[in-house]
C-alpha cells in the first residue's frame, strides 16, 4: 500500500503540494483517479510518488517502508505519461521488452511475456511495427504494455489519453480500465476530466491548489461533493438551498426523495445546499408552470434549456420539444443532483 504523510513539494518558494496525506490501497486491483483542474498539482504528486520530484517535507512509503532516497527505477512502479514516449528506433516488441532484461527476464521467457502483453492490450500482430506506424491510441496501449510487462507493484498513469482525439478517448478509457484490472495492478490515474475518472476509476481523489480535498468512491463523489467548488468542478451549474427531513429534500423546485443510501449515505435532517447539474433540473411543459424557457437547444434525445424561475436562471433539460417562451414546471431528478457536504 502506498502512503503519503504531510508531503510538501516546492518549486522555489511556491508550494505545489501542501502537506498531502493520501493512501492508495492494494487489497484488490483498483484504479484511483487523481482528479483536479489544471495546475492543482496532480502531476507533481504523481512525479513525487515516482521519485522524479524531490519531497521538501513529509514522507512517501510503500507497505510502511520509506521510499526516501530510492531511485525511480528501483521503486518498482510503472509509469505512462501523456504521449507514451515510446522509443522511436525500436519496434513495438522491443519497446515492451525494454524493462524485462533489467529484471533478468530474457530469451523465451521475455518473448512469452511480450506476447502476453500484446494480447492484453489487444495488439497481437503489431509486434514488428515501428511506433511511427501506430495510431495515438495504439501507441498509448503499447506504452501501457511496456509499463505493465515487468509486473510493477503500482502503475502511475499521467493523463494517458490527453493526446488521443476525443472520439477514441472514451473507448480507450474503458479499455485501459479493463486492462489494468485484468493485469491485477493497482493504478493511479491523473486526469482533469471527470468523465474519464468516472469511466476508469473505482475511487476518486479530488485535488485543488496543492491539496487533496476529498477521496470517495466515484458514485458517492458525484452525489456528496465536499464543497460547492468541488461540485462545480464536477459539472454543477447552480447551488440552491433546501431542507432535508427523513431523506426527503424540499426546495423551491418541489420535493424529491433521496433515499438511495448507497449514493447519498445517511443525510442529516436540517437545511442543506444542493448542487444542480443540468440533468438534475427537469423542465416539464406546463402552461401553469412557474418557469419560462429562455433558450433551448436540441440534443440527441432531449432538449437542453435555460429557464427563468422568478429572478433566477438555471440550466436544465426537457424531454419535450420547447422553444423560448414555453412555460414549464421545473422539478428535480434525484439521480443527478448532489447534496453538498
Ligand X SMILES: Nc1ncnc2c1ncn2[C@@H]1O[C@H](COP(=O)(O)OP(=O)(O)OP(=O)(O)O)[C@@H](O)[C@H]1O
Contacting positions for ligand X (CB under 6 A)? 11, 16, 36, 38-44, 192
Nearer to ligand X, 10 or 90 (CB): 10
Nearer to ligand X, 123 or 189 (CB): 189
Least Å distance, CB 282 to ligand X, is: 33
Buried b (16+ CB within 10 A) or exposed e, 237-257: bbebebebeeeebebebeebe
Least Å distance, CB 38 to ligand X, is: 3
Nearer to ligand X, 16 or 307 (CB): 16
Least Å distance, CB 188 to ligand X, is: 13
Helix (H) or strand (E) holding 206: strand 203-208
Please tell me the distance from the alpha carbon of residue 296 to that of residue 324, in angstroms, as a whole number.
7
**Grid cell of 340 as nine digits:** 453538498
Nearer to ligand X, 45 or 218 (CB): 45
Nearer to ligand X, 158 or 315 (CB): 158
- 310, with CB counted inside 10 A (0-12, 13-18, 19+), is exposed
Least Å distance, CB 83 to ligand X, is: 13
**Grid cell of 238 as nine digits:** 447552480
Q: Do β-strands 270-276 and 337-339 pair in parallel, antiparallel, or remain unpaired?
A: antiparallel
Least Å distance, CB 18 to ligand X, is: 11
Please tell me the distance from the alpha carbon of residue 321 to that of residue 223, in angstroms, as a whole number.
29
Nearer to ligand X, 15 or 315 (CB): 15
Least Å distance, CB 11 to ligand X, is: 3
Least Å distance, CB 34 to ligand X, is: 8
Please tell me the distance from the alpha carbon of residue 3 to that of residue 65, in angstroms, as a whole number.
10
Nearer to ligand X, 38 or 167 (CB): 38
Nearer to ligand X, 16 or 322 (CB): 16
Closest by CA to 184, choosing from 136, 145, 151, 218, is 151
Nearer to ligand X, 36 or 278 (CB): 36
Least Å distance, CB 192 to ligand X, is: 5
Buried b (16+ CB within 10 A) or exposed e, 98-133: bbbeeeebeeeebeebbeebbebbebeebbeeebee
Q: Taking the mean position of all CA atoms in its chain, how far away is CA 53? A: 22
| Residue 258: other Cβ atoms inside 10 A | 22
Buried b (16+ CB within 10 A) or exposed e, 33-65: bbbbeeebbbbbbbbbbbbebebeebebebeee
Least Å distance, CB 203 to ligand X, is: 18
Q: Give 9's contacts (C-beta < 8 A, 6+ positions apart).
A: 15, 16, 17, 41, 44, 45, 48, 53, 54, 55, 56
Amino acid at each position: 500500500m502506498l502512503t503519503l504523510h504531510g508531503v510538501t513539494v516546492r518549486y522555489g518558494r511556491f508550494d505545489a503540494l501542501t502537506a498531502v496525506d493520501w493512501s492508495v490501497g492494494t487489497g484488490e486491483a483498483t484504479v484511483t483517479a487523481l482528479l483536479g483542474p489544471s495546475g492543482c498539482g496532480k502531476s507533481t504528486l504523481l512525479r513525487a510518488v515516482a521519485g522524479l520530484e524531490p519531497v521538501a517535507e513529509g514522507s512517501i512509503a510503500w507497505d510502511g517502508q520509506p521510499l526516501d532516497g530510492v531511485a525511480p527505477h528501483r521503486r518498482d512502479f510503472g509509469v505512462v505519461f501523456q504521449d507514451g514516449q515510446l522509443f522511436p528506433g525500436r519496434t513495438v516488441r522491443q519497446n515492451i521488452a525494454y524493462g524485462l532484461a533489467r529484471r533478468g527476464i530474457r530469451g523465451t521467457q521475455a518473448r512469452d511475456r511480450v506476447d502476453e502483453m500484446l494480447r492484453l492490450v489487444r495488439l497481437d500482430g503489431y509486434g514488428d511495427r515501428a511506433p511511427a506506424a501506430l495510431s495515438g491510441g495504439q501507441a498509448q496501449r503499447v506504452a501501457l504494455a511496456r509499463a505493465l510487462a515487468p509486473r510493477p507493484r503500482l502503475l502511475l498513469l499521467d493523463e494517458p489519453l490527453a493526446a488521443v482525439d476525443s472520439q477514441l478517448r472514451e473507448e480507450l478509457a474503458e479499455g485501459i480500465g479493463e486492462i489494468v484490472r485484468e493485469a491485477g495492478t493497482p493504478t493511479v490515474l491523473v486526469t482533469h476530466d471527470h468523465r474519464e475518472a468516472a469511466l476508469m476509476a473505482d475511487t476518486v481523489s479530488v485535488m485543488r491548489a496543492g491539496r487533496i480535498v476529498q477521496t470517495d468512491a466515484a458514485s458517492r463523489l458525484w452525489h456528496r461533493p465536499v464543497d460547492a467548488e468541488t461540485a462545480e468542478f464536477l459539472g454543477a451549474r447552480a447551488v440552491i438551498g433546501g431542507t432535508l427531513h427523513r431523506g426527503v429534500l424540499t426546495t423551491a423546485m418541489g420535493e424529491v426523495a433521496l433515499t438511495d443510501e448507497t449514493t447519498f449515505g445517511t443525510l442529516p435532517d436540517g437545511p442543506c445546499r444542493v448542487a444542480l447539474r443540468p440533468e438534475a433540473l427537469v423542465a416539464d411543459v406546463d402552461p401553469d408552470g412557474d418557469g419560462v424557457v429562455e433558450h433551448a437547444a436540441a440534443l440527441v434525445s432531449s432538449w437542453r434549456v435555460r429557464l427563468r424561475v422568478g429572478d433566477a436562471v438555471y440550466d436544465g433539460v426537457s424531454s419535450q420539444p420547447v422553444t423560448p417562451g414555453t412555460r414549464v414546471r421545473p422539478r428535480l431528478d434525484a439521480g443527478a443532483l448532489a447534496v453538498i457536504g
